[in-house]
Copies of this chain bind each other. A is one copy, B any other.
Amino acid sequence: MVKITIIGTGNVAYHLGKRFKEKGFDIAEIVGRNAEKGTQLATLFHTHFQNNFKKIKTDSDLYIIAVSDSAIENVAKNMAQSLDNQLVVHTSGSIPSTVLQPYFKHYGSFYPLQTFSIGSQPDFDIIPIFINAIPSFSLSPHGQDFTDFLKKIALKISPFVYELSDEKRIVLHIAAVFVNNFTNHLYTIGEKIVAQEGLPFDVLKPLIFETVNKIQKHSPQDMQTGPARRGDTVTIEKHIDYLGENTPPQYLDVYKILTDSIIKKS
């Protein structure tokens, strides 16, 4: 049975660990600082919690660092007190895996492209996983090609596995910021605007769902509609007047820039 150690106690650690456990992996240990969360996860995954980096078990087949971007390097440094020749990856979209290079002989990344939260069950059957193994063709201590090993593990939890360099993963993460973080912010603005008119956010939801529904089968470029797409300057001017007088200045900036960008594309 493949043994995986998970470092971290947040949403990514929880959902990844849960999926690995469901797929028959042995979670060797949960390592972290938050004893309460760590113990909870360890109980769920039938393993134990370790908060002393000097005592980390050294015989796992893979170590997955699933902590916030800013904590990765420090965690790696702490892990290096016990580990050296083991396979260590992190799950970040925006941090190069080379941040692990000073500490481990075999390092890489294991990036599931999804936004994880406690309340929502991710569907790993559709989530793509991007892997990166350095040195990619070296043999691991287990006599296996590192890339092949990571790919095999990823394929146990998702059918969509891609090998992707650090550079390309960072670009992918930028695209993710546009379609996830930025669209969510547009939903927030939409909610604020209808609230000003005494309407619930619910009135916008069917439109939001349909916008997403359309891109299941079509390229979003072909689905673009609205005043900017039509070059309807009369409507655009009315919107600008309203936003300028009734909303925070950044809403108007967002409106202008996105309208401009759609016009340039059309």
Residues of A whose CB lies within 8 Å of any CB of B are 68-70, 94, 113-115, 117, 119-120, 122-123, 126-128, 160, 162, 164, 168, 170-172, 174-191, 193-194, 196-197, 199, 201-221, 223-230, 232, 235, 238-239, 242-243, 246, 248, 250-251, 253-255, 257-258, 260-262, 264-265
Contact = CB atoms under 8 A, between A and B. Distances in A.
A44 B146 CA distance: 61
Given A183-B186, A215-B208, A261-B253, A172 B199 contact: yes
B224 A70 contact: no
B168 A197 contact: yes
Contacts of A197: 164, 168, 171-172
Contacts of A228: 181
A183 B216 CA distance: 14
A225 B174 contact: no
A209 B120 CA distance: 12
Contact of A177 (B160, B216, B239): B239
A180 B206 CA distance: 10
A184 B226 CA distance: 10
Kindly list the 3 A-B residue pairs having the minimum CB-CB distance in the complex, ordered from nearest.
A181-B226, A187-B220, A179-B190
Contact of A206 (B128, B257, B262): B128
Contact of A186 (B70, B122, B182, B239): B182
9 contacts: A69-B232, A115-B210, A115-B214, A123-B206, A174-B193, A183-B186, A185-B261, A201-B220, A209-B212
A184 B177 CA distance: 14
B220 A184 contact: yes
Nearest to A240: B174
Contacts of A232: 69-70
A223 B184 contact: yes
